[in-house]
Amino acid sequence: RDPRYSRAGPWAGALAPVSSFIGGVAAQEALKAVTGKFTPLRQFLYWDALEALPAPPPAAAECAPRGDRYDGSRAVIGEAALGALRRGRYFVVGAGALGCEWLKCLALLGAATDGGVVHVTDMDQIERSNLNRQFLFRKADVGRPKSTVAAEFIMKRVSGVTVEAHFCPIQDKPADWYRQFQVIVMGLDSIEARRWLNAMACSLVTFEVDMETGQRKPDLTSVIPLVDGGTEGFSGHVRVMYPCVSGCFECTLNLFPPQQAVPLCTIAETPRNAAHCILYAHLIEAPKQFGDEKQDKDDPAYQQWVFQRAEERAAQFNIPGVSLMHTQGVIKNIIPAIASTNAIVAAACANEVFKVLTNCAAYVNNNLMYIGGQGVYAPTFRYERSPECIVCGAGVQVEIASSATLTQLLEQLAADPRLRLKTPSLRCEAGALQDDPTLYMRGVLEAEYRPNLDKPLSQLFADGSVLLVTDPSVPSPCIKVAVKFASLALS
């Protein structure tokens, strides 16, 4: 479309994320043809990322080949953009299916080959079931940390790239450690981990006061962009978040329904679906059969045993749907995953990382959905910032009767889908009716504040007071909650 980048010109070349995206779509169409279960692409798909090309185009000398593995990238983006990638500092969170793809794309783009570094972390160890799509691992690696093996493989396969592996919780790293990065790429299967990283990135943002308007504005030099990817089956998403600038993960937390644990009494006494029957065999029957001996959930013999017991349980309650594949998914908590979808989503994420590092173009604003089960669709739309966001906004307002106790307020905060707190501590910012503004504190001083739990709120603080809430699930310094007393008493 742009003659300046014609293949006949000096900019002929290829970028790893583009190749990975197109290859993933082609592989997905092959799967559809073989299985006959999904709607194929209607003959033709055109996809480009021309907005990511440098403007104006680099000079011919910048794109000239130099006899290394990055000549293809250099031919497209030029030496200056390639240099930014080489010196970049990246944090890849997750070394699973998406993480393997990201590390591949980053390494083939030339990331962290000239003073830069890619840090990768994952708390999981390699299991046999990972080997069908997490291609940096081999059978001999089973049992080893994913992040360690992935780093070793990439550095061995692509000479010159620097990858540093971590095998620890992300919460173990101090805030100053996170400040070193230019971009954080997330491939997590946990909402809580996403919340924590999002809150950490927002807490690192510093603000300036506009002298003309008096408004606080984020200092863009302190903003570390987050690129988040996720897949399920033939679908996936790519989301780019600039903390305190665009809508953050916490702003849209209500899009994710709270995960409900299945009560053990339901599993043991009144199963209602196939998953309950499988969990009965796995959690209740297996300990009786095998005692303290830990069973390998990857062991085909154990999977078959659970499947057979679950079938028997399902027959007793006339419940259909128990299969070996379903059994494997339940006992291993497996999210349906296809290698081709991982390649497509990771490629789109890597393309956004390229934009962030080189400042060559605007990022996705700010969410892309990939839907490949019926044809191929990839619409984009924007998540807006929430003024009530507990991380990047002014906080939330809750309404409760003045006669309610502090215990009831804590329960309401825990159930609020905007908050989803685990073990909160409360302090009154203004409006306290006691000498000590602290209402409740977890930890060694908890016993001192326990008497407040049974007191009505009207004895603790005034109507409209703002409470400062701290909770280990959110690393923000505090969450602001404005409490308004309802006119009606609790029923």
Name the residue among 48, 26, 4, 88 with its Cα closest to residue 340: 26
Catalytic, out of 63, 248, 265, 349 = 265
- Classify 254 as helix, strand or coil: helix
How far apart, in Å, are the Cα atoms of 345 and each of 15, 40, 353? 15, 18, 12
Residue 349 bears catalytic tag: no
What span, in angstroms and rounded, lies between the C-alpha atoms of 272 and 25?
38
Evaluate whether 383 touches 237 at the Cβ level (below 8 Å). Answer: no
Evaluate whether 123 touches 168 at the Cβ level (below 8 Å). Answer: yes
What span, in angstroms and rounded, lies between the C-alpha atoms of 274 and 318?
10
- Classify 30 as helix, strand or coil: helix
Find all residues with CB under 8 Å of 145, minimum gap 6, and list them. 122, 124, 125, 126, 165, 167
Pseudo-torsion of CA 50, 56, 58, 60, nearest 10°? 100
DSSP letter (8 states) at residue 281: I
Tokens coding 147: 């992040």
The b-or-e profile of 19-38 (16+ CB within 10 A means b, else e) is: ebbeebbebbbebbeeeeeb
Give the residue numbers marked as catalytic. Answer: 265
